[in-house]
Amino acid sequence: MQFDLRLSSKAKKQLKVLPAKTRNKYEKAFKLMRSCGPNYPSLRSHHYGKKSELWGSSASMALRFYWYYARVQTIVVTGLNSH
């Protein structure tokens, strides 16, 4: 199953200012998300509470990104974060 992954304007701005090495880690995670879905083990996706539509996934041990389902197979990345 293929997913349509879209970046919010905030996420695009955040990604644009990152160093190339960090940006590549996010791009690799986004590629996995598109092709394998959020349940792919290395993405370590989890849901933030029963009332929230927000999910989080890992691009690496220190890099996370936050997203929600816009439709069944459409994911919108809302922001990036590091630990």
- Summarised one tens digit per residue, pLDDT across range 26-82 is 999 999 999 998 888 889 999 987 778 999 999 999 999 999 999 888 999 999 998
Show the domain range for 21: 4-82
Q: Which position has the higher pLDDT, 12 or 50?
A: 12
For residues 33 and 40, the answer to whether their CB atoms sit within 8 Å is: yes
48: domain CATH number is 3.30.2310.20
Task: Check pLDDT > 80 for residue 1.
Answer: no
pLDDT at 4: 95
Domains: count for the chain? 1
The total of other beta-carbon atoms located within 10 Å of residue 78's CB is 16
Task: Check pLDDT > 90 for residue 18.
Answer: yes
Give the pLDDT mean for 11-31: 96
Burial of 43 (0-12, 13-18, 19+ CB in 10 A): buried
